[in-house]
Amino acid sequence: MVNKRAGDIVQGDKTGDKPLSDIVKEYIKHKYNKPGNVYLGTVHRLDRPTSGLVIFAKTSKVLPRLNKLFLSKDIHKTYWALVKNEPQKKEDTLIHWLKKNPKNNKSKAYLKEVPDSKKAILHYKMIKKLDNYYLLEINLETGRHHQIRAQLASIGCPIKGDLKYGFDRSNKDASISLHARHIEFIHPVKKEPMSIHAPLPNDSTWNACLT
């Protein structure tokens, strides 16, 4: 389990930037003094500007089991997001159909099904009001491309720093204020319950969420 920094890519892409998976492999190799190549399986991803928990598999035996947990929705992820506007409801379930546009790498949320769209469901509740932002806690039922970003933007609550989905200015570090905060699941080998929180990024706005 790794607490990803905003800006890191989970797996290699066309940018050629060093992915988090390579950084973690080097860490494991050094910490445990492992000879040869280190195995590391990528179970899921987070968008590049997003921070928070990412699960990696350290053995080929565990990877398909973790993949199965994700497919069966037996891994529960909770996100925190700082948004610009107060949602009309303090707590709600959002249901949209998302259609991805590969040209601009963006998803659009529709209230009704359209061709090539996928159903997207999330639950949110407002847990804190800051001076200029609102802190929402989000639980996903589906895992669609840019789901949280697109669905919150569609109700007039773009995420802080998210220019692509309607926020008016970027964060200084080019992040968006979306953080994979908590993960719960039963370990597929040890059969023990796992419950892990990721510390928030260290900036004044996130810090205000904990005071």
Those residues whose C-beta lies under 8 Å from the C-beta of residue 92, and which sit 6 or more positions away, are: 123, 124
* 92-144 tens-digit pLDDT: 999 999 999 999 999 999 999 999 999 999 999 999 999 999 999 999 999 99
Confidence label for 7 from pLDDT (cuts 50, 70 and 90): very high
Please check the confidence at residue 189 and state whether its pLDDT lies above 90.
Answer: no
* pLDDT, greater one: 35 or 179: 179
Beta strands, E only, the chain? 2-4, 41-42, 51-54, 56-57, 76-83, 91-101, 106-110, 118-129, 134-140, 178-186, 193-197
Those residues whose C-beta lies under 8 Å from the C-beta of residue 210, and which sit 6 or more positions away, are: 200
Residues 173-185, mean pLDDT to the nearest whole number: 96
Question: Which phi and psi angles does 139 have, rounded to 5°?
Answer: -120, 130
Residues 6-24, mean pLDDT to the nearest whole number: 88
Strand-pairing partners, residue 184, are 76, 195
Q: What is the largest CA-CA distance in the chain?
A: 56
Residues 36-44, mean pLDDT to the nearest whole number: 89
The residues carrying an active-site annotation are: 47
